[in-house]
Amino acid sequence: MALAWDQVEDFGKVPDRVIAERLGCSKSTVGLQRRLRGIAPFAASKRRKNIDWDLVADFGMVPDSRIAERLGCSSEAVCRARRARSIKAYKRILEWHLVEDYGQVPDRVIAERLGCTIRCVWRERQRRGVLAHAYGSPA
């Protein structure tokens, strides 16, 4: 069955996925037909808030996710804006010297206490040459 592509009026006005679902074809097929007609893809930016990124004073001082939450946008949008201004990402400084129970409790417990990932604790424990907590042994 040949699709009547000339009857599709909403190329670029809605995502290709929506048209594909309506016509019962693949998203890539719709994208090809849209490109053949010289129509730009639907841009989510039409729905984005107009954010004046130059007014964001705390790039690199707090996590991108916190700025995104405050501005009501995605972390990726904040990351792009921060990188466009050549500002390095926020890096949380963990106070490893305050942790005295490496190997005595599971890495998970230390990670929860510090607010970091288990992998982060594992790397620091490896760096210090401390063996892992033996599960099942008294802590």
> Residue 46 has what pLDDT?
43
Instruction: Quote the domain boundaries for residue 63.
Output: 48-84
DSSP 70: H
Residue 99 lies in a domain: yes
pTM across the whole model: 0.44
Residue 33 lies in a domain: yes
Same domain, 17 and 52: no
Same domain, 129 and 100: yes
Same domain, 138 and 99: yes
Same domain, 18 and 60: no
Same domain, 98 and 122: yes
Residue type, 81: A
Asked whether 107 and 122 are in contact (CB, 8 A), the reply is yes
Same domain, 66 and 106: no
Residue 1 lies in a domain: no
Same domain, 61 and 73: yes
Nearest by Cα to 87 from 118, 49, 126, 60: 60
Residue 2 lies in a domain: no
Tens digits of pLDDT across the chain (139 residues): 567 888 888 888 888 888 888 888 999 999 999 999 888 888 754 455 688 888 999 998 988 888 988 888 888 889 999 999 999 988 877 888 888 888 888 988 888 888 788 898 899 889 888 888 876 444 4
Residue 3 lies in a domain: no
Q: What is the largest CA-CA distance in the chain?
A: 73
Domain count, the chain: 3
